[in-house]
Amino acid sequence: MPHARNEAFISWMEKNGWTALELARALNTVIRDVTQKTAMDRELSQVTVRKWRSGETTWPQARARMALEQVSGRSAPDLGFVPPDRRKSTAPEDPLHRRAFITAASVAAGVVALSGAAPSVGSGDVLRLGQQLDLVNALDDQHGGHDRVEKAALAGAQEAVALQERAATQRTRQRLFALAADFTATAAWSCVDARERVRARSHLDRALYLAGLAQDPALTLRVWNSVSMLAHQQGRHAESLAAGQAAKATGITRRDPLYASLAHARTAIAHAHLDESHQALRALDLAATVLAKADPDLPRPSWIAFYGLAELHALTAIVRDRLGDAADAEAASYRALAALPQAFRRNRGLATARLALAQLHQGDVEQATGTTGRVFTEMGGSPLPGRMRSLLGDFHRDLITLAPGSQIAQDWADRYRTEWSRP
């Protein structure tokens, strides 16, 4: 008997531009992030996704449902999947569901339950939303700035704000405001990465307000860090410096050197673009000095996971190249790529583009153009975030300036049109 195709799931995939292979990879990334396992016994494959599409599989396993719901922002039934009649089956539930995914896979059910008797909101809801936030951040690490990340983050923020109205304690209410701020800051960061500046500014204003309600200095630093990056994109480097200094002034920098290091590194970039070389290099030295004092085992929110020695190397490359020291910028980029985890695919793509720019600024045109090809490899065929597109645009402009009319520039321009500008 032929299977009935899952038209709802097929429609969702087509509307959002997912291929079976790309979706399987994204779901596996979410699962690995939740389980904290670098390898799994059974990974989802494009064959798995095709079985969902064809209707051969009508109800995915628990871990797959959880990941799919987090990536799509919809419940499994909304995507056309039909749960089995448990009265006709005594098969045990996947034990993974009972452990890591028992809360994360039930977001939709929890919202329905809240519309009934409206019990008080406690730590269980905070934990569930925290897991949801971690998953959204993991999706950002893979894809970079994307409207899927922004929408998922804003949905989480909206739920956190709604739940705080029924918080059982003031402490729970503050934790929910903190989650709302964190979700909103993630949405803002996604827009910064996509160079959607108007939406980014709106989200940052909201995130700063929510962080104030939460009385959370780490989140306040996160917002100021993003404000500094946004101002840098807009060429407002004095404002970028002021935002970096505001980040340094938050209380968390006195308690945790990791945050202090990030704030110093951010001001270094602003100083460099203000042609203040001495201040820029001093800020980099301070960033490295305090980072060496940070305890890597301290529990920290998932948004700061990107920052460490690898990211400091990447930021050092930006500063050095801006100050005209392309050789040191190249060396810093190599160090960044050697240390960046594979999971940070977007950051690896950016570091590779920076490496190419540093090589180009030393006159190594052939090597630089070859390096840019690795950007597309790092991104694995995913659409390039706006920030990465802009960086490759800078490369194209400098390449034409350095080697106008050359065959190598023409060959790269062909790739620029076919791959770099691909939607």
| CA neighbor of 344 nearest in space, from 375, 315, 305, 290 | 305
pLDDT band at 237 (very low <50, low <70, confident <90, very high): very high
- At 95 the pLDDT is 39
Confidence check: pLDDT of 91 > 80 = no
End-to-end CA distance of the chain: 40
The residue with tokens 């720019």 is: 357
pLDDT in tens, 5-31: 999 999 888 877 788 888 888 788 777
In the chain, the amino acid numbered 212 is: G
- At 97 the pLDDT is 40
Please check whether residue 66 is in contact with residue 93, taking contact to mean a CB–CB distance below 8 angstroms: no
Higher pLDDT, 191 or 96: 191
pLDDT in tens, 223-236: 999 999 999 989 99
Quote the CA–CA distance of 267 and 221 in Å, as a whole number.
13
Quote the CA–CA distance of 121 and 302 in Å, as a whole number.
23
Share the mean pLDDT of the chain: 83
pLDDT band at 287 (very low <50, low <70, confident <90, very high): very high
Please check whether residue 352 is in contact with residue 337, taking contact to mean a CB–CB distance below 8 angstroms: yes
Quote the CA–CA distance of 382 and 18 in Å, as a whole number.
10
- At 193 the pLDDT is 84
Sign of the four-CA dihedral 144, 186, 28, 310: positive
pLDDT in tens, 299-358: 888 889 889 999 999 999 999 999 999 999 999 999 999 998 877 888 899 999 999 999
- Could you give the C-alpha distances from 313 to 28, 38, 301, 318, in angstroms and in order? 29, 24, 22, 9
Classify each residue of 264-298 as buried b or exposed e, where b means 16 or more C-beta atoms within 10 Å of its C-beta: bbbbbbbbbbeebeebbbebbebbbebbeebeeee
What percent of the chain lies above the pLDDT cut of 70? Answer: 84
| CA neighbor of 224 nearest in space, from 192, 246, 202, 193 | 246
- At 267 the pLDDT is 97
Quote the CA–CA distance of 397 and 415 in Å, as a whole number.
14
pLDDT in tens, 375-414: 888 887 777 878 888 888 899 999 999 988 888 988 888 8
Please check whether residue 309 is in contact with residue 339, taking contact to mean a CB–CB distance below 8 angstroms: yes
What percent of the chain lies above the pLDDT cut of 90? Answer: 44
Higher pLDDT, 236 or 64: 236
Task: Provide CB contacts within 8 A for 394, sequence distance 6+.
Answer: 357
**Token digits for 125?**
């809801």
User: Phi/psi of residue 91, each to 5°?
Assistant: -65, 135
In the chain, the amino acid numbered 361 is: H
Please check whether residue 271 is in contact with residue 294, taking contact to mean a CB–CB distance below 8 angstroms: no
Average pLDDT over residues 180-205: 90
Quote the CA–CA distance of 57 and 49 in Å, as a whole number.
9
Average pLDDT over residues 410-419: 78
**Token digits for 239?**
């404002």
